[in-house]
């Protein structure tokens, strides 16, 4: 914890290299328009003094921070329980790092935190924001829109407000769900049940919609609402077995739910996949590979989602910088899913 090593300034480097501050600045920022011998001298001086630019001073004049905020709503327990969160962050981090941007992490819990985040973003500490806010009633998107900070959302925001200029990255929940159900159909199953996720999240709604796309005129008894948790999956499965003992397939809204459901099926003496086939969603490895039998599921590339979010945001920022440029404003992206076939269906 050695303190007070007085960091060298531009001035110091300039003196040592025998040039002006301006020239050092030019070299440090790419060296365009400075002749080679000078560049060399300045580089040497920078090296010798161990000069590192003072970011605060630079930001003060450029009004850029090379930092973006990642906002994660804590009630988003799903995000927290899963490796999701880590993977998305990893994708984001990689992309940001590649463009010399810093990642400022903002975790929220509760309403007052929303205000805090709003203030922070409005405070112009960061150049943009990546926001995970999958709840239908979340006030965050609106707060952020008001803050006027370029933003990309993770997951389609279920949000009734002004949609213009809202950019998000999502996975094809609906298409993935259709694939799952069609897979059952291909296996010759007909009494296909669905255990939904928490329906205040767009992902759960979309997956349900996908299920319905295939099961047109399906038996509504085959749909049970749940909450993305294993315990919820157990409860839902019990109810399903009571309501529709003849079911022969279950599409669970995520892998955790599927794991819970499979446990109940086993207890009830139903064999998986012989009696009842099961498909999950997410391909959350520690879960999907550990279940007995291993879980057939819909994979989404979480890390890529993070990376893409970052990329879109950075592009938007560039565009802003380039004076409302010629480039098109980035628009939302929906990533594809793939069915990963294992033992459960």
Partner DNA sequence: ACGGCACGTGAGAGCGCTCTCGCGCAACGC
Partner DNA sequence: GCGTTGCGCGAGAGCGCTCTCACGTGCCGT
Binding interface with DNA (CB under 7 A):
7, 9-11, 18-23, 25-26, 28-29, 33-35, 38, 51, 53-54, 57-58, 60-62
- What the block records as the tokens of 144 is 């952020």
Shortest distance, CB of residue 24 to DNA, whole angstroms? 7
Shortest distance, CB of residue 24 to a second copy, whole angstroms? 16
Nearer Cβ to a second copy (129/250): 129
33 binds, among a second copy, DNA, none (CB under 5 to 8 A by kind): DNA
Shortest distance, CB of residue 61 to DNA, whole angstroms? 4
Nearest to 13 by CA among 58, 49, 38, 52: 49
123 binds, among a second copy, DNA, none (CB under 5 to 8 A by kind): a second copy
Nearer Cβ to DNA (120/132): 120
Q: How far is CA 149 from CA 10, 207, 307, in A?
A: 31, 30, 19
Shortest distance, CB of residue 225 to a second copy, whole angstroms? 22
In 10 A of CB 323, how many CB atoms?
7
Contacts of 210 (CB under 8 A, 6+ apart): 173, 174, 175, 176, 177, 178, 180, 181
Contacts of 5 (CB under 8 A, 6+ apart): none
Shortest distance, CB of residue 143 to DNA, whole angstroms? 21
Shortest distance, CB of residue 22 to DNA, whole angstroms? 3
What's the rounded Cα separation, in Å, for the pair 233 and 134?
20
335 binds, among a second copy, DNA, none (CB under 5 to 8 A by kind): none
Shortest distance, CB of residue 41 to a second copy, whole angstroms? 22
338 binds, among a second copy, DNA, none (CB under 5 to 8 A by kind): none
Contacts of 264 (CB under 8 A, 6+ apart): 233, 234, 237, 238, 241
23 binds, among a second copy, DNA, none (CB under 5 to 8 A by kind): DNA
What's the rounded Cα separation, in Å, for the pair 48 and 176?
57
Nearer Cβ to DNA (54/221): 54
What's the rounded Cα separation, in Å, for the pair 257 and 284?
11
The residues binding a second copy (CB under 8 A) are 1-3, 5, 7, 50, 52-57, 59-60, 65, 67, 70, 74, 80-83, 85-87, 89-90, 93-94, 97, 102-107, 113, 116, 119-120, 122-125, 148-151, 165, 230, 256, 259, 263, 286-287, 289-290, 292, 316, 320
Question: Where are any strands of DSSP class E within 76-117?
Answer: 102-108
3 binds, among DNA, a second copy, none (CB under 5 to 8 A by kind): a second copy
Q: What is the DSSP letter of 155?
A: S
What's the rounded Cα separation, in Å, for the pair 176 and 174?
5
Nearer Cβ to a second copy (192/256): 256
Q: What is the DSSP letter of 222?
A: G
At residue 195, the 3 state secondary structure works out as strand
Q: b/e string for 193-205 if b means 16 or more Cβ within 10 A? A: bbbbbbbebbbbb
Nearer Cβ to DNA (49/333): 49
Which residues sit opposite 132 in a β-bridge?
A: 72, 154
Q: What are phi and psi of 306, to 5 degrees?
A: -60, -45
28 binds, among DNA, a second copy, none (CB under 5 to 8 A by kind): DNA
Shortest distance, CB of residue 123 to a second copy, whole angstroms? 4
Nearer Cβ to DNA (102/294): 102
Q: How far is CA 83 from CA 78, 156, 282, in A?
A: 10, 20, 10
Nearer Cβ to a second copy (210/273): 273
Nearer Cβ to a second copy (146/336): 146
């Amino acid at each position: 914890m050695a303190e007070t090593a007085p960091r060298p300034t531009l001035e110091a480097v300039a003196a040592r290299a025998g040039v002006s501050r301006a020239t050092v600045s030019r070299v440090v920022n790419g060296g365009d328009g400075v002749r080679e011998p000078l560049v060399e001298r300045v580089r040497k001086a920078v090296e010798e003094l161990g000069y590192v630019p003072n970011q605060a001073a630079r930001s003060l004049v450029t009004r850029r921070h090379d930092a973006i905020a990642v906002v994660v709503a804590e009630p988003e327990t799903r995000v927290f329980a899963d490796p999701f969160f880590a993977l998305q962050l990893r994708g984001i981090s990689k992309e940001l790092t590649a463009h010399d941007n810093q990642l400022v992490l903002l975790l929220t819990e509760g309403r007052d935190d929303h205000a805090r985040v709003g203030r922070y973003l409005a405070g112009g500490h960061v150049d943009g924001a990546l926001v995970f806010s999958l709840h239908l009633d979340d006030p965050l998107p609106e707060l952020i829109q008001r803050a006027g900070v370029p933003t990309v959302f993770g997951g389609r925001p279920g949000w009734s407000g002004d949609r213009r200029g809202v950019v998000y990255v999502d996975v094809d929940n609906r298409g993935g769900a259709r694939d799952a159900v069609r897979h059952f159909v291909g296996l010759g199953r007909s009494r296909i049940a669905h255990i939904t996720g928490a329906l205040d999240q767009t992902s759960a709604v979309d997956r349900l919609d996908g299920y319905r796309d295939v099961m047109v005129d399906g038996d509504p008894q085959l749909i049970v609402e749940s909450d993305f948790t294993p315990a919820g999956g157990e409860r839902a499965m019990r109810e399903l077995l009571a309501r529709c003992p003849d079911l022969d397939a279950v599409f669970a809204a995520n892998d955790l739910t599927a794991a819970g459901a499979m446990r109940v099926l086993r207890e009830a003496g139903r064999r998986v996949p012989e009696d009842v086939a099961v498909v999950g969603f997410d391909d959350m490895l520690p879960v999907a590979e550990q279940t007995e039998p291993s879980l057939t599921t819909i994979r989404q590339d979480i890390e890529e989602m993070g990376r893409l979010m970052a990329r879109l945001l950075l592009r938007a920022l560039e565009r802003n910088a380039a004076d409302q440029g010629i480039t098109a404003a980035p628009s939302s992206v929906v990533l594809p899913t793939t069915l990963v076939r294992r033992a459960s269906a």
